[in-house]
Amino acid sequence: MGMSGNVKIIFQPAGRRGEVETGISIIEASRRLGVDIESLCGEKRVCGKCRVRIEEGFFEKYGISSTGEHASPWQEEEGKFITPSERKEGFRLGCCARVEGEMLVFVPEESRAGKQVVSKAARDIPIEWNPAVKCFYVEAEKPTFQDPTGDLERVLKRLDSECGLRNLTIDCLALRRLPDCLRKGDWKVTVAVWMNKEIIRVMAGRVEDYYGIAIDVGTTTIAAYLCNLATMKVVDTASMMNPQCKYGEDVMSRITYSVMHEDGLERMSNDIVEGLNSLVVQACESTHPPKKKAKECETSAAPPTYLCLKPDDLMDMTIVGNTAMHHILLKLNPEHVGLAPFPPVVHKSLDIKARDLGIRVNESAYVCILPNEAGFVGADNVGVLIAEEPYKSETMQLIIDIGTNGELVLGNKDKLISSSCATGPALEGAQLSFGMRAAPGAIERIKIDPETHEVDYKVVGRETWRSYSKPGEMGTKGICGSGILDVLAELYSSGVILKSGRFNPNQKTSRFRKNAGNHQPEFVIAWAEETSIGKDIVITQKDVRQIQLAKGALYCGCKLMMRRLGIRNVDVVKIAGAFGTHVDRQKALIMGLFPDCPIENILAIGNAAGDGARAALLNRKKREEADWVARNVEYIELTVEKDFEREFMQAMQIPHMKDDFPHLKGVVPDEILHQK
Amino acid sequence: MGMSGNVKIIFQPAGRRGEVETGISIIEASRRLGVDIESLCGEKRVCGKCRVRIEEGFFEKYGISSTGEHASPWQEEEGKFITPSERKEGFRLGCCARVEGEMLVFVPEESRAGKQVVSKAARDIPIEWNPAVKCFYVEAEKPTFQDPTGDLERVLKRLDSECGLRNLTIDCLALRRLPDCLRKGDWKVTVAVWMNKEIIRVMAGRVEDYYGIAIDVGTTTIAAYLCNLATMKVVDTASMMNPQCKYGEDVMSRITYSVMHEDGLERMSNDIVEGLNSLVVQACESTHPPKKKAKECETSAAPPTYLCLKPDDLMDMTIVGNTAMHHILLKLNPEHVGLAPFPPVVHKSLDIKARDLGIRVNESAYVCILPNEAGFVGADNVGVLIAEEPYKSETMQLIIDIGTNGELVLGNKDKLISSSCATGPALEGAQLSFGMRAAPGAIERIKIDPETHEVDYKVVGRETWRSYSKPGEMGTKGICGSGILDVLAELYSSGVILKSGRFNPNQKTSRFRKNAGNHQPEFVIAWAEETSIGKDIVITQKDVRQIQLAKGALYCGCKLMMRRLGIRNVDVVKIAGAFGTHVDRQKALIMGLFPDCPIENILAIGNAAGDGARAALLNRKKREEADWVARNVEYIELTVEKDFEREFMQAMQIPHMKDDFPHLKGVVPDEILHQK
């Protein structure tokens, strides 16, 4: 076993085994073998989420000769996340330790990137029917010696005289299908035309229904809406984790990955394209009968209960995503959008043949990628805007899209400004000691008794709260994004932490303690016996600071934007994204995530970015509207605004000066609201 | 050695060896191993050109066990081309005999598809500069915090303000190169724009010269003209045999091949695309220094003597070809264009991304395929028309393009009509006992003494005529297209054949004889000792009939078209194609290929189809002109014209009634011209 060549590696408990070349990191080896290890920071050695245990002696135990080291030498950075005693047990960071010899790697439950429970349903927003792809039925004449004109020209003649379509072009792949379709349909065909410009498919006979798909490529989740373009009905919604998560949790990590690895952009792009392809297949399969009844699709005798769609049936696709997702999908170098002054490669919407991106829908179909605004405020935010249309509204709206990055839009029909703030992934549960995605076992709701400081909570995937369960039934793993705000708001309202974010020295339970290792104060949310990871789940002082930084960034952004527009109050706060759906509006207000507003005017608008993609799919005018709004929203770079640092420091307090939050009166106890 | 699985096969004298599956024809096996066997009829078992000799005993001789038959049983059709004694020697037709066991196959010289000598130079025709792709140099501004607009929008702004280009789109692959080009060129770039619509390439800094290529896909030959789009200069011309020739010599054979073989269209299309790609490479390589001086290209110190172009430097491509070549290239089913009433799949010109056709030039470049007229009168004829512009002329022009198919255009600025006639490949030397392509050893000029009927001739690749050579030096192989007309005209003018085409019973040499086998009359052109094929090269009565059929079809077509236009004379006869370049105008007139015309008004216009492709490459208005003329030339289906059969019978006579050919007086002896 030398320093070069391939070596065996096994990952437990997944049981995945295979050979990898020596010298690669354990986390890279795990990717090759299809094991997902958490890597929130994109291998920058700062998140500590990729802790694994190397069982050195394994191969010797089974008589396989093993000389030399199994893993590369210990790195200083690992000491931040691994105690000396853990180090003795074989713990390492997957991003630091390189494979030097055969090894068995145990991935602890908290380091596994689990399958997330995603909820991105399509909302009912009003959309006018005007899809970019429309179908036309025509009956052409058969060729004769008197009129031996070609196939295409016969069809074009009818499209002109009966549908008013002139100067049409045809995609060469659609043209290839034309002669057989015409003869199969006895010179009667249905023609799919894109933008009244180009024939993208010809089908024999009369076809009434045709389909398209709208996609929201989120940093963490990809959501798809399969729609009937004729009826505008949503046939199915499907979603999956963004397969790029393994390269880093947030957009900066992914940009870093693409800069640091020569084939990084290529790999991440291919991963997302393959993701889109499997999502398309998944959405289509939902229109098929259960496998055992597959024959129903083939016989035409029974009424067509199932649509039995194939990817080839999808005639159009729209995509939204933040600027980084947009660039990576299109294989556009994202390096510069990550460097001041953050110029993207392109703003305007793009119509690209799906086949040029490797996306497998109808072979001649286009994909419309909506435009970017500026910096990281990308096509996803444009999607939100064309779904919510604040530029048509009299009321002053603040639209917050808290994904892995925070995107803000403020304004009304007179003016719209946008900005992006580095909330970081803390509000989604990352970078915290026990943060995790909204997967089963994640704490999503919590209550802390102000009198006793006792804790009650519920986890994703289990209806019953802790107080009504046996400890061993909970299987608690960590705290997810929507839960983290609950935790902080409760810690604050109950007096466990002060408005500065520091732990109150006057505590009422043994849940408050100093960590045995680093002597930092921490508060136990769940005792080890309630968890599936075998240790206490705590909130540390550092965790509180992380949340404060995130919420401070968001609140500071809102305040600076309001200052720019010269307003003191907003009429409506709209929270987009999964965060908005799950968050407790009152607790968000308590935490001061955004400026004060009557609670009834704080609205969760769900996956508005996806709604925008769907609107653009079903109405081509919305694409023009998207290009217009992307050009006309003024982008504010917050970090260069006057007094940014001072505003940011102030914004970290919980809650802010009482005068700014009249709607909190009665919600938070007065003695807490008025503390100094 | 059984009936299934793979078996060894060796082709001699090429020495190619390999394994093929049992059951395929010998001709198919030869293709797989890269050996070109002639197949003029496309394996329809009617041309007899694919005769090979199977050396059954070969493997046994070398101790390789061999039981059972090597080839499939003898077919009745083979008897037409193989005598009983040849059969005993092992002769078979490559299209009939299937590989059943290991075999050594000897391919006689006359059955080899040799490399043709091609001469398709670019003529000097006046073209106005207005290429579809134009380059623009712009200096964009660097992004700042005050103006963090994206890369593309910065370039678009300059293209708008300085070049007047609005609403430009960009190809996604060109977009990928943009950010690095902009920074490499310090925000100064040259942008290639297609049709004032789409950016297809961005280059760092200022680029003066840029390139394109015009292609004429002939049934037999493909010619390419590499042009500087900025200066309109022809940088290089390159040509090659159409790799589809192995599937059949004429368009009907290829259409038949595509109908008979499930993957036939795919294979032929891929072959032509690969041919185009190698032609592009060939043209580019001509701009590089000789291999040993390759370094000159890399150092920028010396003045740039060599352009060193790469396929990626070609920004545009135009293609012409007859309807069958057009369809096969684009993978459009050519079946229906071969069946009455012969409708093509499409007439209009098509702009297709080169990458969608698998053509490797600049990755974002378009290919413009010129429009088809009707039936087999395709984009090649449109090329001829936009090069010659008869629709702008006062004089009545007859334009004849004799390729493997005969295409005719008649008219002037008032009206143009076109038609296609089944000359068959006889005029190109195929389907004759000793017909061949214009390759070395092919008879291209001939003289027959009217007194003695002795023969003198010269062959392609050898300057010296037979009478000045030793017999063994000639290496004669057969008669090529341009020679065949010489032969017939001389046979007639010298009195060896009569105007009916029959051999004159009154012969003066022993060259006239009856064939020992089939007792048909034949005339020896070259004795065995002068040939490299070891037997007398003769013209048979059947050969004369074949030529008469071809020339009759052509002449009949001309006459019917003149009748349609109500004219008795044409002012000018233009002969396009290699045939026109090589043909002796006087002998063409003697043979009555076309109606009488003053010899000085019979013009060879060379590869006018290629000139048209080049005109369309350098001037986009010529593409519109092409679409206009393709719609406005009236196509005449000759075979359904009144009295077609009677006209055709009459047209076969050599020469026609003397009154129709006043310009023949003094050219052909009076006693021959006035024979009854």
Q: Collect all residues of chain B within an 8 Å Cβ-Cβ radius of residue A347.
A: 149-150, 152-153
Asked whether the beta carbons of residue B346 and residue A144 sit closer than 8 angstroms, the reply is no
B522 and B593 fall within a common domain = no
Ranking A108-117, A255-264, A421-430, B547-556 by mean pLDDT, the lowest is A108-117
- The answer for residues whose C-beta is within 8 angstroms of residue A431's C-beta and 6 or more apart is A40, A41, A47, A424, A425, A546
Per-residue tokens: A462? 């289990």
Q: How far is A367 from chain B (nearest CA, A)?
A: 11
Per-residue tokens: A183? 């003869």
For range B382-408, the mean pLDDT: 92
Asked whether the beta carbons of residue A151 and residue B180 sit closer than 8 angstroms, the reply is no
Residue in A150, A173, A357 nearest the CB of B345: A150
Best mutation site among A198, A345, A636 for testing chain B: the one with the most B CBs within 10 Å? A345
B273 and B164 fall within a common domain = no
**Which is nearest to B618 in space by CA: B134, B93, B23?**
B134
Omega into B13 within 30° of 0, i.e. cis? yes
A563 and A654 fall within a common domain = yes
Asked whether the beta carbons of residue A640 and residue B145 sit closer than 8 angstroms, the reply is yes
- Domain assignment present for residue A430? The answer is no
Report the C-alpha dihedral over residues A408, A412, A413, A414, rounded to 10 degrees. -100
Chain B contact for A374 (CB, 8 A cutoff): yes
Residue in A180, A348, A637 nearest the CB of B333: A180
Identify the domain containing residue A196 by its residue range: 133-204
Burial label for A426, CB within 10 Å (0-12, 13-18, 19+), is: buried
Chain A contact for B644 (CB, 8 A cutoff): no
Judged against a pLDDT cut of 70, whether residue B430 lies above it is answered with: no
Ramachandran angles phi, psi of B327, nearest 5°: -65, -45
Of A549 and B424, which is predicted with more confidence?
A: A549
Chain B contact for A152 (CB, 8 A cutoff): yes
Residue in B145, B178, B375 nearest the CB of A341: B145
B386 and B344 fall within a common domain = no
Q: Is the ipTM of this complex over 0.90?
A: no
The mean of the pLDDT values for chain A is 87
Interface of A with B in 338-357 (CB under 8 A): 340-348, 350-352, 355-357
Chain A contact for B195 (CB, 8 A cutoff): no
Chain A contact for B170 (CB, 8 A cutoff): yes
Judged against a pLDDT cut of 60, whether residue A297 lies above it is answered with: no
Q: Collect all residues of chain B within an 8 Å Cβ-Cβ radius of residue A172.
A: 330, 350, 352, 356-357
- The answer for residues whose C-beta is within 8 angstroms of residue B9's C-beta and 6 or more apart is B17, B18, B19, B20, B29, B33, B99, B102, B103, B104, B105
- Domain assignment present for residue A431? The answer is no
Residue in A148, A336, A352 nearest the CB of B342: A148
Please state, in angstroms and rounded to a whole number, the distance separating the CA atoms of residues B154 and B228. 29
What is the per-residue pLDDT across B646-668, written as a single tens digit (0 to 9) for each? 999 888 888 754 556 777 777 77
Of A303 and A394, which is predicted with more confidence?
A: A394
Asked whether the beta carbons of residue A341 and residue B151 sit closer than 8 angstroms, the reply is no
What is the per-residue pLDDT across B632-649, written as a single tens digit (0 to 9) for each? 999 998 888 888 899 998
- Strand-pair partners of A387: none
Of B290 and A466, which is predicted with more confidence?
A: A466
Asked whether the beta carbons of residue B375 and residue A148 sit closer than 8 angstroms, the reply is yes
A459 and A509 fall within a common domain = yes
pLDDT value of position B360: 97
pLDDT value of position B422: 77
Beta carbons of B121 and B234 less than 8 angstroms apart: no
pLDDT value of position A585: 83
Query: Which pLDDT band holds residue A49 (cuts at 50, 70, 90)?
Result: confident
CATH number of the domain that residue B152 is part of: 3.10.20.880
Asked whether the beta carbons of residue A151 and residue B345 sit closer than 8 angstroms, the reply is yes
Asked whether the beta carbons of residue A341 and residue B375 sit closer than 8 angstroms, the reply is no
What is the per-residue pLDDT across B157-166, written as a single tens digit (0 to 9) for each? 999 999 999 9
What is the per-residue pLDDT across B486-508, written as a single tens digit (0 to 9) for each? 888 899 989 899 988 999 988 88
The mean of the pLDDT values for chain B is 87
Chain B contact for A179 (CB, 8 A cutoff): yes
- Domain assignment present for residue A377? The answer is no
Per-residue tokens: B369? 């395929």
CATH number of the domain that residue A342 is part of: 3.30.420.480
Best mutation site among A172, A350, A419 for testing chain B: the one with the most B CBs within 10 Å? A172
Asked whether the beta carbons of residue A350 and residue B144 sit closer than 8 angstroms, the reply is no
- Domain assignment present for residue B375? The answer is no
Residue in B144, B345, B357 nearest the CB of A179: B345
Chain A contact for B109 (CB, 8 A cutoff): no
pLDDT value of position B438: 74
A153 to chain B: closest CA residue: B346
Of A87 and B199, which is predicted with more confidence?
A: B199
For range A572-591, the mean pLDDT: 83
What is the per-residue pLDDT across B6-34, written as a single tens digit (0 to 9) for each? 888 888 776 677 888 888 999 888 888 77
For range B432-438, the mean pLDDT: 81
Burial label for B301, CB within 10 Å (0-12, 13-18, 19+), is: exposed
Asked whether the beta carbons of residue A335 and residue B179 sit closer than 8 angstroms, the reply is yes
Q: Collect all residues of chain B within an 8 Å Cβ-Cβ radius of residue A341.
A: 143-145, 148
- Domain assignment present for residue B120? The answer is no
pLDDT value of position A356: 97
Please state, in angstroms and rounded to a whole number, the distance separating the CA atoms of residues B206 and B230. 13
A103-106/B406-411 β-pairing: unpaired
pTM: 0.79
pLDDT value of position B656: 55
What is the per-residue pLDDT across A251-263, written as a single tens digit (0 to 9) for each? 888 999 999 999 9
A218 and A361 fall within a common domain = yes
Query: Sheet of B16-21: strands edge to edge?
Result: B16-21, B6-12, B103-106, B51-55, B91-93
- Please count the other Cβ atoms lying within 10 Å of the Cβ belonging to residue B443: 28
Judged against a pLDDT cut of 60, whether residue B299 lies above it is answered with: no
A96 and A154 fall within a common domain = no
Please state, in angstroms and rounded to a whole number, the distance separating the CA atoms of residues A486 and A525. 12
Q: Collect all residues of chain A within an 8 Å Cβ-Cβ radius of residue B346.
A: 150-153, 170, 175, 178
Q: How far is B355 from chain A (nearest CA, A)?
A: 9
Please state, in angstroms and rounded to a whole number, the distance separating the CA atoms of residues B115 and A77. 69
A186 and A235 fall within a common domain = no
Burial B3-36 (b: 16+ CB within 10 A, else e): eeeebbbbbbebebeeebebeebbbbbbbebebb
Beta carbons of B571 and B400 less than 8 angstroms apart: no
Interface of B with A in 375-394 (CB under 8 A): 375
Per-residue tokens: A220? 């963490």
Beta carbons of B222 and B215 less than 8 angstroms apart: yes
B392 and B356 fall within a common domain = no
**Report for A63-72, A322-331, B490-499, B667-676: range of highest mean pLDDT:** A322-331
Ranking A456-465, B56-65, B625-634 by mean pLDDT, the lowest is B56-65
Of A540, A569, A584, which residue sits at a domain end? A540
Judged against a pLDDT cut of 90, whether residue B516 lies above it is answered with: no
Q: Collect all residues of chain B within an 8 Å Cβ-Cβ radius of residue A374.
A: 148-150
A282 and A167 fall within a common domain = no
B635 to chain A: closest CA residue: A148
Judged against a pLDDT cut of 50, whether residue B614 lies above it is answered with: yes
Please state, in angstroms and rounded to a whole number, the distance separating the CA atoms of residues B650 and A267. 72
Please state, in angstroms and rounded to a whole number, the distance separating the CA atoms of residues B187 and B189. 6
Interface of A with B in 315-334 (CB under 8 A): 330-333
Asked whether the beta carbons of residue B335 and residue A148 sit closer than 8 angstroms, the reply is no
B492 and B537 fall within a common domain = yes
Residue in B169, B183, B346 nearest the CB of A152: B346
Chain A contact for B178 (CB, 8 A cutoff): yes
pLDDT value of position B90: 86
pLDDT value of position A577: 78
What is the per-residue pLDDT across A169-227, written as a single tens digit (0 to 9) for each? 999 999 999 999 999 999 999 999 999 999 999 999 999 999 999 999 988 889 999 99
Burial label for A468, CB within 10 Å (0-12, 13-18, 19+), is: exposed
Domain count for chain B, please give it.
Answer: 5
pLDDT value of position B293: 45
pLDDT value of position B30: 86
- Domain assignment present for residue B450? The answer is yes
Asked whether the beta carbons of residue B150 and residue A375 sit closer than 8 angstroms, the reply is no
Beta carbons of A501 and A548 less than 8 angstroms apart: yes
Of B419 and A245, which is predicted with more confidence?
A: B419
Query: Which pLDDT band holds residue A462 (cuts at 50, 70, 90)?
Result: confident
Of A540, A566, A591, which residue sits at a domain end? A540
A320 and A233 fall within a common domain = yes
Chain A contact for B148 (CB, 8 A cutoff): yes
Of B543, B564, B589, which residue sits at a domain end? B543
- Domain assignment present for residue B374? The answer is no
Interface A:B, Cβ pairs < 8 A: 129
Interface of A with B in 548-577 (CB under 8 A): none
Chain B contact for A438 (CB, 8 A cutoff): no
Asked whether the beta carbons of residue B330 and residue A152 sit closer than 8 angstroms, the reply is no
Best mutation site among B141, B152, B157, B180 for testing chain A: the one with the most A CBs within 10 Å? B152
Judged against a pLDDT cut of 60, whether residue B66 lies above it is answered with: no
pLDDT value of position B126: 85
Of A127 and B115, which is predicted with more confidence?
A: A127
- Domain assignment present for residue A376? The answer is no
**Which is nearest to B57 in space by CA: B95, B102, B16?**
B102
Beta carbons of A512 and A496 less than 8 angstroms apart: yes
**Report for A266-270, A419-423, B303-307, B486-490: range of highest mean pLDDT:** A266-270
Asked whether the beta carbons of residue B356 and residue A173 sit closer than 8 angstroms, the reply is yes
Chain B contact for A640 (CB, 8 A cutoff): yes
Chain B contact for A115 (CB, 8 A cutoff): no
Beta carbons of B452 and B509 less than 8 angstroms apart: yes
Of A662 and A91, which is predicted with more confidence?
A: A91
